[in-house]
């Protein structure tokens, strides 16, 4: 006869029912399962979710609770106090959870595991968010990889463990009844000011939305992905990143779905390139695991001497999408309105901030943390260090994206810019990405007045490029 003592299932960044190893293990005990979620802004410190992430989290928890028939229990505070208290109150002996890899979460979870053990309880933990866990992937000399290609090809595909099979959702879970007093609204996630209407119309947070997003991508976006992913107005992007971050879908589910596509007539190069993008996510987590100061410290320490500028006005113009460079401004406005930015454009706006404006990558990292629905500590930190040239396997600092050539190449008909910078919509394609090059007559016909309806460029590209290269050269003479 199954025990009537409940077991506790602690949901974290695994907000799904299918392919949830902790849920399946808890269910296999045969005991009633008490599902909980704890909003922990105590241990998170500087890395508590930003505004866009909190909006997504609220919607995702609502969807998960609905899938579970309203049985999810909500708490707010320090899990080191809350979880042992629930275990004592319900007489639960085991707490199940899926592992997280952010440094602050690892430290918290280790403390909680010790606390549970000291009180005669136990914790059972699982991998639900990565294909290849960091402790399993290292070079022959046991040091971590710092270059992506050998990490993926040699460490993961050749010598690493094969990604596990995705598991089905259990259909007969007995949820333990618990009379908690905290509601989802009490977690303080929903913004008090309604600024998220376009995000709400853009996304469907939750496990069902994640499945639908994957199906749409496989049907309409995977074919032609290798090249098409560079064009922000095309459908060749998955937009799975927030769903993966919050664990509404697992990378194993995505990986296995690609296996199915590989058996059909999809071009192998598109599938393999998308797999490599999943692997970049893995690489970022590997870096964060082995270099826990990644969010704050340059991996290449010589950049500690880099002569960054301070310019509040330029930073504000960048944040608001008012730099006078249309592709940059389109990206920043897409971010503000939808909580997302196309990856090619992320590289363009990042390069503009740290090289043309010569502002510290920390400014970009913090702005993205607050405004991205897919804000992820590993990916965000590693990506900003990559574009700044100070990270692992980083883009060379002298690789400075020119927003004019990038815009003309990857938004040739201007559809992306016209969508997010509508004041330029009537400009001819030839001048859309550089409206100052048009004659006064052409600008007047398009209702564009530089400095009034659209800003003048806040920096000269050639001069700022030379300034950036000179700053980089100064590292060698320091």
Q: Per residue in 415-450, pLDDT tens?
A: 999 999 999 999 999 999 999 999 999 999 999 999
Residue 318 catalytic? Answer: no
Q: What's the mean pLDDT in 156-171?
A: 91
Per the domain annotation, does 173 fall within a domain? no
Q: Which listed residue (361, 367, 369, 386) is catalytic?
A: 361
Q: Per residue in 214-245, pLDDT tens?
A: 999 999 999 999 999 999 999 999 999 999 99
pLDDT given at position 253: 97
Mean pLDDT over each residue of the chain, to the nearest integer: 95
pLDDT given at position 478: 52
Residues 138 and 95 in one domain: no
The answer to whether 64 touches 211, Cβ cutoff 8 Å, is no
Residue 299 tokens, joined: 């991996």
Residues 331 and 439 in one domain: yes
pLDDT given at position 177: 83
Residues 259 and 341 in one domain: no
Residue 287 tokens, joined: 């870096």
Residues 120 and 254 in one domain: no
Q: Which listed residue (277, 297, 322, 423) is catalytic?
A: 277
Per the domain annotation, does 189 fall within a domain? no
CATH code of 340's domain: 1.10.579.10
Instruction: Please write down the HEC assignment for all residues of the chain.
Output: CCCCCCEEEEECCCCCCCCCHHHHHHHHCCCCEEEEEEECCCCCHHHCCCHHHHHHHHHHHHHHHHHCCCCCEEEECCHHHHHHHHHHHHCCCEEEEECCCCHHHHHHHHHHHHHHHHCCCEEEEECCCCCCCHHHCCCCCCCCCCCHHHHHHHHHHHCCCCCCCCCCCCCCCCECCCCCCCCHHHHCCCCCCCCCHHHHHHCCCCHHHHHHHHHHHHHHCCCCHHHHCCCCCCCCCCCCHHHHHCCCCCHHHHHHHHHHHHCCCCCHHHHHHHHHHHHHHHHHHHHHHHCCCCCCCCCCHHHHHCCCECCHHHHHHHHHCCCCCHHHHHHHHHHHHHCCCCHHHHHHHHHHHHHHCCECHHHHHHHHHHHCCCCCHHHHHHHHHHHHCCCCCCCCCCCCCCHHHHHHHHCCCCHHHHHHCHHHCCCCHHHHCCHHHCCHHHHHHCCCCECCCECCCCCCHHHHHHHHHHHHHHHHHC
Residues 359 and 315 in one domain: yes
Per the domain annotation, does 176 fall within a domain? no
126 - beta bridge partners?
98
Domain termination residue (choose one: 265, 290, 315): 290
Alpha-carbon separation of residue 464 from 303, 304, 356, 389, 471 (angstroms): 19, 21, 5, 17, 10
Per the domain annotation, does 337 fall within a domain? yes
Residue 367 catalytic? Answer: no
Residue 343 catalytic? Answer: yes
pLDDT given at position 477: 64
- Check pLDDT > 80 for residue 63: yes
pLDDT given at position 193: 77
Residues 100 and 111 in one domain: yes
- Check pLDDT > 70 for residue 2: no
**Sign of the dihedral through C-alpha 202, 230, 376, 170:** positive
Q: Which listed residue (56, 369, 384, 386) is catalytic?
A: 384
Residue 409: count of CB within 10 angstroms of its CB = 14
Residues 109 and 253 in one domain: no
Q: Which listed residue (47, 190, 280, 297) is catalytic?
A: 280
- Check pLDDT > 60 for residue 1: no
Q: What's the mean pLDDT in 153-178?
A: 91
Residue 384 catalytic? Answer: yes
Residue 356 catalytic? Answer: no
Q: Per residue in 281-294, pLDDT tens?
A: 999 999 999 999 99
Q: What range defines the domain where residue 112 resides?
A: 7-128
Per the domain annotation, does 467 fall within a domain? yes
Residues 411 and 462 in one domain: yes
Q: Per residue in 86-101, pLDDT tens?
A: 999 999 999 999 999 9
To the nearest 10 degrees (0 to 180), the angle between helices 268-290 and 377-388 is 100
Residues 275 and 327 in one domain: no
Domain termination residue (choose one: 290, 321, 338): 290
- Going by C-alpha positions, the residue among 163, 141, 164, 168 that lies closest to residue 152 is 163
| CA angle at 76 for the pair 26 and 112, rounded to the nearest 5° | 55
Residues 121 and 134 in one domain: no
Per the domain annotation, does 195 fall within a domain? no
The overall pTM is greater than 0.75: yes
Residues 109 and 157 in one domain: no
Alpha carbon distance 355, 214 (integer Å): 35
8 - beta bridge partners?
34, 95
Residue 277 catalytic? Answer: yes
Banded pLDDT at 300 (limits 50, 70, 90):
very high
Alpha carbon distance 431, 173 (integer Å): 61
Residue labelled with tokens 């950036």: 468
Q: How many domains does the chain have?
A: 3
CATH code of 271's domain: 1.25.40.80
Residues 38 and 119 in one domain: yes
Q: Which listed residue (127, 133, 308, 423) is catalytic?
A: 308
Per the domain annotation, does 285 fall within a domain? yes
Q: What's the mean pLDDT in 361-369?
A: 98
CATH code of 14's domain: 3.40.50.620
Collect all residues with Cβ–Cβ distance below 8 Å to 287 and sequence separation of at least 6.
Answer: 144, 146, 294, 299, 378, 382, 391, 392
pLDDT given at position 261: 86
Per the domain annotation, does 179 fall within a domain? no
């Amino acid at each position: 006869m199954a025990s009537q003592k409940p077991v506790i299932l602690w949901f974290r960044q695994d907000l799904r029912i299918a392919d949830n190893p902790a849920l399946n293990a808890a269910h296999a005990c045969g005991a009633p399962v008490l599902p909980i979620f704890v909003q922990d802004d105590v241990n998170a410190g500087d890395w508590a979710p930003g505004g866009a992430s909190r909006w997504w989290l609220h919607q995702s928890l609502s969807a998960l609770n609905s899938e579970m028939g309203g049985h999810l229990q909500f708490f707010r505070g320090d899990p080191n106090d809350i979880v042992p208290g629930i275990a004592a109150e319900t007489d639960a002996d085991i707490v199940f959870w899926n592992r997280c890899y952010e440094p602050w979460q690892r430290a918290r979870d280790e403390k909680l595991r010790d606390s549970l053990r000291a009180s005669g309880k136990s914790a059972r933990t699982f991998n639900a968010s990565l294909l290849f866990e960091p402790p399993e992937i290292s070079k022959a000399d046991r040091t971590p990889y710092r270059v992506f290609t050998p990490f993926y090809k040699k460490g993961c595909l050749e010598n690493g463990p094969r990604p596990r099979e995705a598991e089905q959702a259990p259909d007969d879970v007995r949820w333990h009844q618990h009379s908690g007093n905290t509601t989802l609204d009490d977690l303080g996630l929903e913004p008090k000011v309604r600024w998220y209407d376009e995000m709400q119309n853009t996304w469907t947070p939750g496990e069902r939305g994640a499945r639908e997003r994957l199906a749409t991508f496989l049907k309409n976006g995977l074919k032609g992905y290798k090249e098409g992913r560079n064009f922000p107005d095309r459908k060749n992007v998955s937009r799975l990143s927030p769903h993966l971050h919050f664990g509404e879908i697992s990378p194993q589910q995505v990986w296995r779905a690609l296996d199915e596509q590989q058996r059909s007539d999809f071009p192998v190069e598109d599938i393999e390139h998308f797999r490599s993008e999943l692997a970049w996510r893995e690489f970022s987590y590997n870096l964060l695991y082995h270099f826990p100061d990644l969010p704050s410290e340059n991996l290449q320490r010589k950049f500690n001497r880099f002569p960054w500028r301070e310019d509040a006005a330029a930073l504000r113009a960048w944040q608001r999408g008012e730099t006078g460079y249309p592709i940059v401004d389109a990206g920043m406005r897409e971010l503000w309105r939808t909580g997302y930015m196309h990856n090619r454009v992320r590289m363009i706006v990042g390069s503009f901030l740290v090289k043309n404006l010569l502002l510290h990558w920390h400014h970009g990292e913090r702005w993205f943390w607050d405004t991205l629905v897919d804000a992820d500590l590993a990916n965000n930190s590693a990506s900003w260090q990559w574009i700044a040239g100070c990270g692992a396997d980083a883009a060379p600092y002298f690789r400075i994206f020119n927003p004019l050539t990038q815009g003309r190449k990857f938004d040739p008909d201007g559809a992306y810019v016209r969508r997010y910078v509508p004041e330029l919509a009537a400009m001819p394609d030839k001048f859309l990405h550089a409206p100052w090059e048009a004659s006064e007559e052409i600008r007047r016909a398009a209702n564009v007045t530089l400095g009034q309806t659209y800003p003048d460029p806040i920096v000269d590209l050639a001069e700022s490029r030379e300034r950036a290269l000179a700053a980089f050269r100064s590292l060698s003479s320091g």
